[in-house]
Amino acid sequence: MATIENPALKPFVARIGNELVLAQVLIRRNETGYELRHVEDQAAAPALLRLLKLNDARSLAQFTAAGAFRPLKSAPNLQRGWRMQLGNDTELEAALNQLYPGAIADWHAAQAANPPVTHYRDYANRQSGMYRITAMLTGAQAARVIRAGCDKRFCLKQRLWTVAGLETDSAGEKSLIPCLEPCAVLMEFARKAMRIEQQERIHLELAPEEAATVQAALQAVLDRPDATVREGDFSAPDNPRRLQLVLEKFRPISKLAGGSETE
């Protein structure tokens, strides 16, 4: 049986050159094919890194160093301390499809003059069942959800889709992996965010300096993430995306107070 060649593979391999960083993976050409390793282990001596086989790529991508499940493979929490030796382009494709599923195909699709992008409003309007509620978010609410849920501390894909009033990710902000439509994690987050928006409001008066204190506290928690909090558990008040979403609501307050926005 003839092998069906992926039309995206050849141009992607040409893009590599001598080496290429794909999200958190450094791809290097060598005499025998390719070596993959975590980009933060770029200068590490090979003897200091665990030598993994191609079949180990899937399990590597499944869990963080702390053992937590990774529901989003493009999250910036790929384990360090390993290297993988690959003999040819086919093995490279197989490994990358385990580490970053669909990344090569999506990268190739994004090179087209009109990439096949589905924006939030179109995507949400298609939803049925429990996700129909995501279409109820206003443009401003959806923009906050997207800024929070797709923040680079949670996802390294370059978001090419958007909603009215929100820019797409810039080319150098995240990685070469494009995001062509909202993912399941983002839509679940949007569903929870809409449920929160439907709750009765609590009115709290804060002086500008008090608001700055709340912002600083939220940012401090985000900067020191709790490894025991599950990334996809949006029912948890201390879920990092929920913290980021609250922080997003301080953007207009910061502008009015003359402060700087939290990045």
pLDDT at residue 15, rounded to an integer: 95
Residue 260 binned pLDDT confidence (cut-offs 50, 70, 90): very low
| Alpha-helical segments (H) within the chain | 9-16, 57-62, 89-99, 103-110, 120-125, 139-149, 184-197, 208-223, 240-248, 251-257
Which pLDDT belongs to residue 113?
93
The answer to whether residue 130 scores a pLDDT higher than 60 is: yes
Q: 91 near 54, Cβ under 8 Å?
A: yes
State the Cα–Cα distance between residues 57 and 91, nearest whole angstrom.
Answer: 11
Which strand ranges, in their side-by-side order, compose the sheet holding 82-86? 19-22, 25-30, 33-38, 82-86, 50-52
User: What pLDDT, in 10s, does the model give residues 177-194?
Assistant: 999 999 999 999 999 999
The answer to whether residue 60 scores a pLDDT higher than 90 is yes
Q: What is the pLDDT of residue 227?
A: 75
pLDDT band at 54 (very low <50, low <70, confident <90, very high): very high
- pTM (2 decimals)? 0.89
Phi, psi of 67 (to 5 degrees): 90, 5
Q: Quick one: pLDDT at residue 254?
A: 57
39 close to 25: Cβ distance less than 8 angstroms: yes
Tell me, what's the pLDDT at 258? Answer: 54
Tokens of 119: 């924006």
Q: pLDDT band at 208, cuts 50/70/90?
A: confident
> Could you tell me if 180 and 118 are in contact, meaning their C-beta atoms sit under 8 angstroms apart?
yes
Q: Over the stretch 211-257, which tens digit does the pLDDT of each residue have?
A: 889 999 999 999 887 777 888 899 999 999 999 999 998 876 655 45
Interatomic CA distance for residues 205 and 19, integer angstroms = 53
Question: Which of 75 and 254 is assigned the larger pLDDT?
Answer: 75
Please, is 192 exposed, middle or buried when counting C-beta atoms within 10 Å of its C-beta (0-12, 13-18, 19+)?
Answer: buried
